[in-house]
């Protein structure tokens, strides 16, 4: 037997490099995928590389039929399969969009089309695509308020902003929906309800690919960059892969080329961007374990929590941090407190006698060993505070999971986020302890 080639060593290697077991269960036999494949074939797309499958860690995705080499074309989806604002303008909705003032946004056009086609059911030429779309989503706007309450502070605020934004999107679109009444025998309010628009908004937000369209007068000035790409949008995210994805003007296909090789029968991933857990949850409704971009954000109230409240220069220090853009994005990561967090703390820890050195601190200069030590001690206290808070939240979530079975999926999502954050904080506290020993 070749050295290290056996099953045990393969498993050991996978564990060491954190590669999840990615073998999935083939789902191509399912009627919805058979219909979708037929629909794609009618539009000149036949897939040779991929199979729809369900994977233990990531859910539904695409599995490679063959091994894929770096640089290989994974999928080339013809323009005829893409759903863009052009598709909408060419449809029965086109004349209504063209005459509506003020011009609707490209996003509203896409969402209106999705809701209307979904309502058309069997009559919709897009039915095979609509049938494979998720029925519900897990972006924060879809979470129950008591689940949103369990999110870390900065994400909780963004989740609430998202809810407000989607509600305003709905209420500001009602008059436009009313103008579509001649197209439907039913009352438009029953078709373009908040829940229908929310579903469409989440569909576009979590699944659209970036494809810039030329600006058109019939739309508002918001960027027109979203296209829905049936089948291709079954590809899940991994922070560990590199891909090239773009519309090819020559072949008139949306193409994805892999920058990372993939073995036969493994899940094929693309990378949605170098996003941390908060962004992934906010935009896509999931959390990726062991995400190298994940971090724990330190908001201003916690930043100053362990500093003497008697510091007369505190307000001045805070305004310096604000002026120099050092008050946001202060984080703990897998490799400890960020340089920005430590720098902000060093500035806040300056004694009255050293206060004039604040510029040196922002440039990364060391003021004294004592000052370095104080800043590390404060960073460690903040880290411990977060560990305690996260543990308390995890206990609360576990309790709520026992109490409210209906919320189990939403609670599990937040639990995954909090568990990842706990691991980051534990890594950070160890790193900080190592740094602190240098000053003992």
Ligand X SMILES: C[S@@+](CC[C@H](N)C(=O)[O-])C[C@H]1O[C@@H](n2cnc3c(N)ncnc32)[C@H](O)[C@@H]1O
Using rule CB under 6 A, residue 94 touches ligand X: no
Q: Which is nearer to ligand X, 126 or 284 (CB)?
A: 284
Q: Which is nearer to ligand X, 264 or 290 (CB)?
A: 290
Site string (119-148) toward ligand X, x via CB under 6 A: ---------------x--------------
Q: Are 281 and 162 in contact (CB under 8 A)?
A: no
Smallest gap from residue 152 Cβ to ligand X (A): 19
Q: Which is nearer to ligand X, 270 or 387 (CB)?
A: 270
Q: In angstroms, what CA-CA distances link 197 with 185, 211, 230, 368?
A: 19, 22, 19, 58
Smallest gap from residue 235 Cβ to ligand X (A): 6
Using rule CB under 6 A, residue 203 touches ligand X: no
Using rule CB under 6 A, residue 58 touches ligand X: yes
Using rule CB under 6 A, residue 103 touches ligand X: no
Q: Which of 91, 258, 288, 331 binds ligand X (CB under 6 A)?
A: 288
Smallest gap from residue 32 Cβ to ligand X (A): 11
Smallest gap from residue 19 Cβ to ligand X (A): 13
Q: Which is nearer to ligand X, 285 or 337 (CB)?
A: 285
Q: Are 89 and 111 in contact (CB under 8 A)?
A: no
Which one of the spans 193-201, 282-290, 354-362, 399-407 is the region binding ligand X (CB under 6 A)? 282-290
Smallest gap from residue 61 Cβ to ligand X (A): 5
Q: Which is nearer to ligand X, 20 or 357 (CB)?
A: 20
Q: Which of 33, 177, 284, 386 binds ligand X (CB under 6 A)?
A: 284
Smallest gap from residue 192 Cβ to ligand X (A): 23
With CB under 6 A, what is the number of residues at the site for ligand X?
17
Q: Which is nearer to ligand X, 104 or 230 (CB)?
A: 230
Between helix 277-284 and helix 194-207 the angle, nearest 10°, is 130
Question: Which residues in 204-233 contact ligand X (CB under 6 A)?
Answer: 206-207, 233
Burial 353-367 (b: 16+ CB within 10 A, else e): eebebbeebbeeeeb
Using rule CB under 6 A, residue 285 touches ligand X: yes
Site string (320-359) toward ligand X, x via CB under 6 A: ----------------------------------------
Q: Which is nearer to ligand X, 59 or 71 (CB)?
A: 59
Smallest gap from residue 234 Cβ to ligand X (A): 5
Using rule CB under 6 A, residue 61 touches ligand X: yes
Q: Which of 4, 6, 18, 59 binds ligand X (CB under 6 A)?
A: 59
Chain centroid offset of residue 306 CA: 32
Smallest gap from residue 279 Cβ to ligand X (A): 12
| Alpha carbons within 13 A on the beta-carbon side of 157 | 4
Which one of the spans 37-45, 58-66, 305-313, 412-420 is the region binding ligand X (CB under 6 A)? 58-66
Chain centroid offset of residue 35 CA: 29
Smallest gap from residue 227 Cβ to ligand X (A): 12
Q: Which of 96, 247, 286, 386 binds ligand X (CB under 6 A)?
A: 286
Chain centroid offset of residue 169 CA: 20
Q: Which is nearer to ligand X, 32 or 404 (CB)?
A: 32
Q: Which residues contact 400 (CB under 8 A, 6 or more apart)?
A: 146, 150, 407, 411
Q: Which residues contact 58 (CB under 8 A, 6 or more apart)?
A: 20, 22, 236, 267
Residue ranges binding ligand X (CB under 6 A): 58-61, 134, 206-207, 233-238, 284-286, 288
């Amino acid at each position: 037997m070749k050295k290290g080639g056996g099953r045990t060593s393969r498993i050991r290697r996978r564990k060491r490099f954190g590669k999840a077991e990615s073998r999935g269960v083939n789902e191509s036999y399912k009627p919805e995928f058979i219909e979708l494949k037929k629909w794609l074939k009618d539009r000149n797309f036949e897939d040779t590389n991929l199979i729809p499958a369900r994977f233990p860690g990531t859910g539904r995705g695409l599995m490679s039929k063959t091994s894929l080499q770096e640089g290989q074309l994974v999928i080339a989806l013809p323009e005829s399969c893409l759903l863009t604002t052009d598709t909408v303008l060419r449809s029965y909705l086109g004349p209504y969009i063209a005459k509506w003032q003020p011009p609707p946004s490209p996003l509203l056009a896409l969402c209106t089309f999705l809701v209307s086609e979904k309502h058309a059911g069997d009559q919709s030429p897009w039915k095979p695509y609509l049938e494979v779309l998720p029925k519900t989503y897990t972006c924060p706007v879809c979470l129950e308020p008591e689940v949103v309450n369990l999110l870390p502070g900065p994400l909780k605020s963004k989740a609430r902003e998202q809810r407000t934004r989607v509600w305003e999107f709905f209420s500001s679109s009602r008059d436009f929906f009313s103008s579509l009444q001649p197209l439907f025998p039913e009352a438009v309010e029953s078709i373009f309800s908040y829940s229908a628009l929310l579903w469409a908004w989440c569909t576009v937000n979590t699944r659209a690919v970036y494809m810039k369209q030329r600006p058109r007068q019939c739309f508002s000035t918001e960027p027109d960059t979203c296209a829905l790409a049936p089948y291709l949008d079954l590809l899940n995210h991994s922070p560990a892969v590199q891909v090239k994805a773009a519309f090819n003007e020559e072949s008139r296909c949306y193409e994805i080329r892999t920058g990372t090789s993939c073995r036969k029968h493994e899940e094929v991933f693309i990378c949605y961007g170098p996003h941390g857990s908060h962004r992934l949850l906010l935009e896509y409704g999931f959390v990726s374990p062991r995400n190298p971009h994940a971090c724990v954000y330190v908001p201003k109230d916690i930043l100053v929590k362990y500093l003497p409240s008697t510091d007369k220069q505190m307000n001045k220090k805070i305004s310096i941090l604000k002026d120099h853009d050092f008050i946001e994005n202060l984080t703990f990561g897998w490799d400890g407190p960020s340089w920005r967090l430590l720098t902000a703390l060093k500035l806040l820890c300056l004694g009255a006698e050293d206060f004039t050195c604040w510029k040196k601190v922002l440039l990364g200069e060391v003021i004294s060993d004592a000052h370095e030590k104080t800043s590390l001690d404060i960073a460690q206290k903040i880290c411990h505070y977060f560990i305690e808070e996260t543990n308390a939240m995890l206990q609360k979530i576990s309790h709520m999971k026992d109490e409210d079975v209906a919320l189990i999926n939403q609670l599990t999502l937040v639990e995954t986020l909090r568990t990842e954050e706990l691991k980051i904080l534990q890594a950070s506290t160890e790193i900080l302890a190592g740094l602190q020993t240098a000053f003992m």
